[in-house]
A = this chain, B = another copy of it.
Amino acid sequence: MRLYHDSRAPNPRRVRMFLAEKGLTSAVELVEVSINARAHQTPEHLARHPLGLVPVLELDDGRHLTESVAICRYIDELHPEPQLFGTDAWSRAKVEEWNRHAELELLIPVAQVFRNSHAFWQGRIRQAPDFADIMRELLADRLTWLDRELADRRFLAGDAFSIADITALCALDFGKVSNIRLGDATPNVKRWHAEVAGRPSAKA
């Protein structure tokens, strides 16, 4: 299998980290599709994904899967251990709840700050700086919320590490490029971040 990715973008990192947690890093060939070099807009990549997004998983028979969580779920079907999507009906529901909270409340706002205010995108896309400001305000609120949630448990979805922690780590780390940083006001998020960032998979 091949994973078409950008080594600096947050969604491909989610998949690389998931693969590393599964012990599958060497089982998947990584192929760089540099957004900075506009490689995602070439005919070759658009044939894999008409929207020109990354990551894309390519199976050995040529089929493509074009979305980060779908790729993680497919890998999870082939390699169920260690379990990163929960272990029973309720824990699977809680992991899904928290993976979606991490995406909708953290990753998407962080990505929208980047798209709508960062110099990287100037001249490449139309930006709305006002919306970036709104998302910065939202993120401050969401970090306060997350800090309360993490006051009495180790990981986002409970006592077990899950894909929700991968999503949240990739979101908050990607925030650094837009100067979104964890401060002393959110000690539980900092404690959680230090633990998750210290896992070997975080370097994937």
Minimal beta-carbon separation of A146 from chain B (angstroms): 10
Q: In chain A between 75 and 107, which residues have their CB closer than 8 angstroms to a CB of chain B?
A: 77-78, 89-90, 92-94, 96-97, 100-101, 104-105
The segment from A1-9, A124-132, A183-191 found at the interface with B is A124-132
The answer to whether A32 has its CB under 8 Å from any CB of chain B is no
Pick the residue among B77, B93, B104 that contacts A74 (CB under 8 A).
B93
| Separation of A92 and B50 alpha carbons in the complex (Å) | 21
Q: Give the interface size bracket for A toward B.
A: 35 or more
What's the number of copies of this chain in the assembled complex? 2
A97 touches B70 (CB 8 A): yes
List residues of chain B with CB within 8 A of the CB of A126: 134, 137
Secondary structure class of chain A's binding surface, majority of residues: helix
30 contacts between A and B (CB under 8 A): A50-B145, A50-B148, A50-B149, A51-B145, A66-B97, A66-B101, A67-B96, A67-B97, A67-B100, A67-B101, A67-B104, A69-B100, A70-B96, A70-B97, A73-B92, A73-B93, A73-B96, A74-B89, A74-B90, A74-B92, A74-B93, A77-B93, A78-B89, A116-B131, A128-B128, A128-B131, A128-B134, A130-B130, A130-B131, A131-B131
